[in-house]
Amino acid sequence: MKTTLILLTFIVSSYNLIAQLYGRGLNLSEQSSERTIVSATLMRGDFEELPPRFSLKKYCPTPGNQGMYATCAGWASAYSGRTILNAIKNNYINPLIDQNSFSPSYIYNQIRRDSTCNNGVDLVDALEIMKDQGVLLLEDFGYECEKDIESHDKYRAIQNRILEYKEIFNRFSYNKVITTKKSISEYRPVVIAIDVPRSFECCKDVWIPEKEEYKNGKNGHALVVVSYDDTLYGGAFEIINSWGTEWGNQGYTWIRYTDFEFFTYNGFELIDNIKDETSEYDFSGSISFIIENEIPIQLEQSDNIFRTVYSLSSGTKFNIRLSNDQPAFVYAFGSDLKRKNTILFPPKENISPLLSYKKNNLSLPDERSNLMLDKNVGKTYLCFIYANKYIDIKTAMKKIEKESGDFVKRVFKYFKKDIVSNYTSTIKDQSKIIFKAKSDNKSMIIIILEINHV
């Protein structure tokens, strides 16, 4: 009996030794955090006709090495993810990319649970630091477990804040592959939380899990997706790791789509800058209104106010189709003669108003349901805001309710200093509002539809 116990102990100890050749350090959760900002659901057509392959690898730093520390969240978010965004923005290639890489310790040392670097952290905490505080370059804040963050460090880090991060999938999402491919094709690196069993430590060009590993092992690790290819290994994503260049294929490996779906828990798209310097316009897009049976509502225009040509009765069901050809923060709300404002988009506080791609198509409330006019007859108003910065829309709606004058005057009065004064807006095919504008140092355009509600 004693011999058997010793043998079993040796086997278990050997397995754990093999399983910990590299550091990890991520807490995995099957539920999204209440603080997590999620991406709005775009129309299905936005995910069709994606290129069969796309890569951000040329913007990657040389894969770093976290050693045995539990610092993967800092390496994935700052060293890999933030560095890639910076390289894309500035069109860096190596050695410039490595010279301008960001510090994993600046992030991890602020969110660790104690003074060591041996305990796991939450990926959302790392991303929040990058969004709210920024991050320092690695040359300004080295990879040191004992190093504290001083007030002057935070002051310098502000200039390197990301604009936003958004969860594009969670543990139970059915569309992990297509949403990740969309992000990569839009030059947005995706930081993922993933369960990596023992076989991941030994992979080369592609990771092939062992059969017995298809279970929830909770070996949490953070990686960054940098490429995809529909033709490799039956379809696969390429990731950059933080286990040095001797691991995998010089620090990278491919994960097959099927394994990606099984082992990933969350995916977060990183966003730095939404302004396209090469574009003629800062704001552009369209808005249309569709009643049941896909019948468009006919519109007419008076100055920058749009109206329905025909009255609509209470109980009329309709859908709003929003499209933007430039990334923008988009907000929509409605109002009636009782001055009650109701938010239409984003419908929940944890849904990001930022439509971050070059082309976004959104259906309100969604593609499978409709809005409906209530029983309060008279004038019903719908207001749409396209902005280049975040707006506290809840506060805005409350204050607009208290302003004097009709709805149109109240809206334009509240946002007066931020509104682009000159922009082009027309009606196409009698039913679709088309708009485009240069910002001229202003932050938004506003489009209002007046519905004669009977």
Angle, CA of 374, 379 and 385, to the nearest 5°: 90
Domain ranges of the chain: 21-271, 283-453
Chain segment 316-366, per-residue pLDDT in tens: 999 999 999 989 999 999 998 788 899 999 999 999 999 999 899 999 999
Strands 236-240 and 283-291: unpaired
Looking at residue 275, its pLDDT comes to 75
Residue 103 has pLDDT above 60, yes or no: yes
Architecture of domain 21-271: Alpha-Beta Complex (3.90)
Measured CA to CA in angstroms, residue 411 lies from 105, 237, 357, 372, 449 at distances of 45, 46, 27, 23, 12
Residues with Cβ within 8 Å of 396's Cβ and at least 6 positions away in sequence, in order, are 414, 415
For the chain, how far is it from start to end, CA to CA, in angstroms? 87
CB atoms within 10 A of CB 214: 12
CA–CA separation, 124 and 45 (whole Å): 29
Q: Is the pTM of this model over 0.75?
A: yes
CA–CA separation, 104 and 149 (whole Å): 12
Retrieve residue 451's tokens: 């519905």
Looking at residue 425, its pLDDT comes to 86
Chain segment 146-204, per-residue pLDDT in tens: 899 999 999 999 999 999 999 999 999 999 999 999 999 999 999 999 999 999 999 99
Looking at residue 422, its pLDDT comes to 79
Measured CA to CA in angstroms, residue 213 lies from 235, 281, 328 at distances of 20, 51, 42
Residue 377 has pLDDT above 90, yes or no: no
Comparing 224 with 373, the larger pLDDT belongs to 224
- CA dihedral for 21, 24, 25, 31, sign (positive or negative): negative
CA–CA separation, 284 and 325 (whole Å): 5
Looking at residue 278, its pLDDT comes to 65
CB atoms within 10 A of CB 58: 14
Average pLDDT over residues 235-240: 99
CA–CA separation, 363 and 278 (whole Å): 28
Q: What is the Cα gyration radius of the chain?
A: 25
Residue 19 has pLDDT above 60, yes or no: no
CA–CA separation, 139 and 323 (whole Å): 42
